[in-house]
Structure 1
Amino acid sequence: MRTIRPSWLVAVAVSVGVIGAGVTELTSRASLALPVLPLNSLVTMGLIAVVCLILGLKVRRWRDGKRDKVLDPLLAARTLVLAQACAYAGAMLFGWHGGILVDQLTTIALREDLGVIWQIIALLTGGAVMVVVGIVVERFCKLPPEDNEPSAKPRPKRESHGEEEFA
């Protein structure tokens, strides 16, 4: 399984941010409410991050040598997948609410109630926390190289396929 590439996380956040800003512009023109998640979604985001972190710590403890119990390899693989999903979901949430915030920056001076802006900032923070937890837990699941394995042998040079033979 490949590791998370930070450039992919940035690409996801930026592309979803552009979509979020566009949707916000459309909802504003239609006099609809901002497409922002409710604050109670922070509880769900926090629970996902905490569960991911707890499972990651269990894998890290086993990796670092505290092998009192056998670690189920399926649990370790699922923890890795959960960590990556947490990071990508956090990038999407961060991008979506970042796009909404960028679109609303011009209207901050006109607003009497800044509650929705603080709500957007709280959800941005929750998305960033999910990204960080996902990346950290993914690193917990990485096995160190074995000392008793032979070092990687250099690849043999490619043989020419008759190109010099005809010259």
Structure 2
Amino acid sequence: MKPINPIRLMLIGLVMAIAGWSATVVTSRFSLATPVLPATALASMGVIVAITLILGIRILRWRNSNRDATKKKTVLNPILAARTLVLAQACAYAGTVLLGWHVGIFLDQLRIWNLRSDQGITWVAVAMAGGGLVMIVVGLLVERFCKIPPEDTETPGEGKRSPRGEAAGEGEYAYRGD
């Protein structure tokens, strides 16, 4: 698997901000409800972040315990590692979508901030954008946890080679797919 490209995340966030802003403009013109997630969605986001972080910490502990060459190397379940990596990347992408969408809503709500007596929707949009940002940070952090450090060899640059010709540990994750 390839690591997440931060530029791709920024582009997705920008597109979703434009989409969120456009949807808010359209719904307000037709006197419909603002398309913001309810505040209870923060609890779901918190559960997803907690599960991702717990699984990531398990991978990090395995990786750190195998650094010492004198200790017996334990085997990591490759399915667990692959699922953790996929969950981390999904968390980052979902956080980007949520952040972008709710930033767009927030930007539209700012222009009528003084005209509204109830600014609850604006604060919910800010909270959801903050939750999206937390999801992005945790996703990228856990993705980094899943990265295998380069293997130490006696001669520098003479490690095992992957089928693509890269040295072991270069751009690879805990799940190698060999």
Pairwise TM-score range, normalised by the shorter structure = 0.7 to 0.9
The separation in 2 between residues aligned to 1:72 and 1:127, in whole angstroms, is: 29
> Which secondary structure state, in structure 1, belongs to the residue aligned with residue 59 of structure 2?
helix
Largest Rg, 1 or 2? 1
The separation in 2 between residues aligned to 1:14 and 1:135, in whole angstroms, is: 18
Check if 1:141 corresponds to 2:167.
no
More helix by share: 1
2:24 — aligned with what?
24
> Which secondary structure state, in structure 1, belongs to the residue aligned with residue 151 of structure 2?
coil
Q: So what's the TM-score if we normalise by structure 2? A: 0.82
The separation in 1 between residues aligned to 2:154 and 2:24, in whole angstroms, is: 55
Listed as ranges, the gaps of 5+ residues in structure 2 are 67-71, 160-164, 166-178
The number of residues matched between the two structures is 154
Alignment equivalent of 1:116, drawn from 121, 130, 134: 121
Cα RMSD over matched residues?
A: 1.9
Amino acid at match of 1:26: V
User: Shift in Å at residue 149 of structure 1?
Assistant: 7.2
Amino acid at match of 2:139: G
Alignment equivalent of 1:127, drawn from 117, 123, 132: 132
Check if 1:100 corresponds to 2:105.
yes
Listed as ranges, the gaps of 5+ residues in structure 1 are 156-167
The separation in 2 between residues aligned to 1:49 and 1:130, in whole angstroms, is: 6
Residues 95-135 of structure 1 show CA distances to partners (whole Å, capped at 9, x for unaligned) of 00000111111100101111111111110100000000000
The separation in 2 between residues aligned to 1:56 and 1:135, in whole angstroms, is: 10
